[in-house]
Structure 1
Amino acid sequence: MTEDTTGTRQRPGTQWYDHEAGPLVRPYAMTGGRTRSGPTGVPFDLIALVSLETGAPDPDGDTSLGPEHRALLDGCRIETQSVAELAADTDLPVGVVRVLVGDLLERGFVRVSRPVPPAQLPDERILREVIAGLRAL
């Protein structure tokens, strides 16, 4: 027998069980050992926005989707979410969420909008001038 972090003695083979949370699943088991999704393996930014694809096939009929995929889809049903928000809401590591979102994107269930690069955002000075001009009207 071994002792866990609380000093409780455990039987061999139970180290992957948390008495409060239940069985533990390693992140690589959720992604099938992958660290990137699909053939392109394009990583998503934490602020990339994920939304359900309109006209997407019914995910209930897809038996290849795991419970983590379904949890991500449920998170996107109400509103568009960022990758970071999905990770926080589902209590999954960000790396796992990136791989799973890539799977969903490949299958046509979600759409991912990448954030606008800062170089393409309008200059703050110009925005202030527009606001001042509108106030002058």
Structure 2
Amino acid sequence: MISLKAQYALKAVLALARARPDEVLMTAEIAESQAIPKKFLEQILLDLKHQGVVVSRRGKTGGYMLRKSPDLITFGEILRIIEGPLAPLPCLSRSAYRRCEGCADEAACEIRRVFARVADANRRILDGTTIADCLAPGGQSESRNASLFG
């Protein structure tokens, strides 16, 4: 289950992606349109800024805009920025690997084998779905991801 913070981050990025490429959106504008508490949104946008997803402009006409094209931003990227590693077990993480407590042999671990399939499916969907996919007419990502399991 993803956190409310991650849901808000995705909603904010989607709102920024809907804006014109040169349009700057104020935090208050995003907060109101997406029903996100403004103070919470400010922290989320700072996290996204530090990771190079958004840029900010200061001043009276300041606000935020995407730094990268929506077709280059994946759900996986946003979730990793906000939530950290996506793997369900530490021994499956690509970015924060560590051996599970009490595990004598990863290669023989039945639990790891099952959750490795879960992690692979999650990565395939989350890293294969861009912000642009969600904004495409008819939700391009839905049909593409449905075929992964169909």
Q: TM-score w.r.t. structure 1 length?
A: 0.36
Q: Which has the higher helix share?
A: 2
- Between Structure 1 and Structure 2, whose CA radius of gyration is higher? 1
Q: Which has the higher contact order (CA 8 A, sep 6+)?
A: 1
